[in-house]
Amino acid sequence: MIDLRRLRREPDAVRAVLARRGIDLAGLDRVIALDEEQRRIAVERDDLRSAVKILSKEVGGLRQAGDLETAEAKRAESRNLGEQEKALAARSDGLAEEIRQILLVTPNIPAADAPNGDGEADNVVVRVEGPTDRWADHQRVTHWDIGDELGILDLERGAKLSGSMFVMFRGAGARMVRALVQLALDRNADLYEEIRPPTLVRTETMMSTGHLPKFEEDAYHIERDDLWAIPTAEVPLTSLARDEILDEADLPVRLMAHTSCFRREAGSAGRDTRGLLRVHEFDKVEILAYTTPEGAADLHAELLARAESILADLGLTYRVVDLCAGDLGASAARTFDLEAYAPGVDQWLEASSVSWFSDYQARRANVRYRPAGGRGTEICHTLNGSAMAVPRVWAALVETHRRPDGKVAVPDPLQPYLGTDVIG
């Protein structure tokens, strides 16, 4: 969440930067008013606590002196002040919780260099990599038709088993899912520690990244156990150091994880949900880092380069998109999307979002570090990106590499994992 102390110090500046997101700022104004009242009440509460302590000492002294009547009067006064103090404490706690609830749904402050804009149409295409005019008729076939023809994607039975927007890979299609995952893990094993976190997490784990309460409708909730199916490994990896203090010498901490991911796609009504474009369950390899504020820019570039290199080596045409302030995810300060072109569906498919969250997530998760040679603690910065989001990469790959004979050529990096250079 955003820093309440900064909002106190620079209310107009915080309003101005958040206005770039195009959000209603009434919540901020409410927070400022509640915070002023809460601090005023806290002062009154603390004054009463001090008065009660003084009276308690006086009561003890009077009893020792044998003045029981005055002692009882002071004791009654102390009880009365104590009740007032409890009431003020409850009111202060209530105001603090109301402030917290508003801040939990207040988005992050966009980075100064994030482009201005109101939505997706204002995003900036930084560059396009790979051929853009090479597409032949045999590549203009949708991945679901290719999958059906080659027996590697069975949408009908996936829906029979679990419902619409659940998919099933078969044979070489399933092996290619595994190959893509393993490729991404192997590519990042030089610096990133592999983690296999739980797929079901507690509410506070989802809240730490900002997925709750804002995106509750898109999440799968197991109410009996109050556990949530993760929408991305970003969720458990961010909380790996929750409520911990790291040493600056140990930063950056680099982590990666392959997990299944679950999303209701509640907001996808009316959008293209055919094939693998939007699914409820999918495999993904996530890379994530904790760092200092000074190290964030370099790590952001590192994560982007790692995600980008895999798309390039798979022979995919892709573009790098700088998201404008109005299209940033709620927790992000700066995001670059990597979009792979799929010629069969004639769409740019989001294959990775590489984001810097500043201290927004770590503040929610209470992930801190102790500066070298310094006093106290500071809040970490977090970053993450998809090293491999399987469904859309799978789709772009089979469409791009479909041959005139209908078979799919296997890109060089995947051949050792699949043991073949062609699927057909």
DSSP string, 201-216: EEHHHHHHHT-TTTTG
In 3-state terms, what secondary structure has residue 4?
A: helix
What share of the chain in percent tops pLDDT 90? 89
109: in domain: no
For residue 371, is it left (φ>0), alpha (ψ between -120 and 50) or beta?
A: beta
Note the pLDDT of residue 289: 98
Confidence of residue 75 (pLDDT cuts 50, 70, 90): confident
113: in domain: no
- 381 CB-side CA count, 13 A: 20
Same domain, 328 and 393: yes
Q: Are 315 and 305 in contact (CB under 8 A)?
A: no
pTM check: above 0.85: yes
Same domain, 202 and 296: yes
- Average confidence (pLDDT) over 367-378: 92
Token representation of residue 42? 């806290």
Domain boundary among the residues 104, 130, 151 is at 104
110: in domain: no
In angstroms, the Cα distances linking 57 to 62, 74, 84, 240 are 9, 10, 19, 47
The structural domain count of the chain equals 2
What value does the CA radius of gyration of the chain take, rounded to a whole number of Å?
27
Q: Is the dihedral of CA 206, 208, 211, 213 positive or negative?
A: positive
Domain boundary among the residues 77, 104, 131 is at 104
Question: Which helix (H) or strand (E) covers residue 316, if one does?
Answer: none
Residues 6+ apart with CB under 8 A from 300: 334, 336, 354, 356, 383
What is the C-alpha to C-alpha distance for residues 86 and 93, in angstroms, rounded to an integer?
10
Domain region containing 176? 120-423
What is the C-alpha to C-alpha distance for residues 201 and 191, in angstroms, rounded to an integer?
26
- Average confidence (pLDDT) over 388-410: 98
9: in domain: yes
- Average confidence (pLDDT) over 191-202: 98
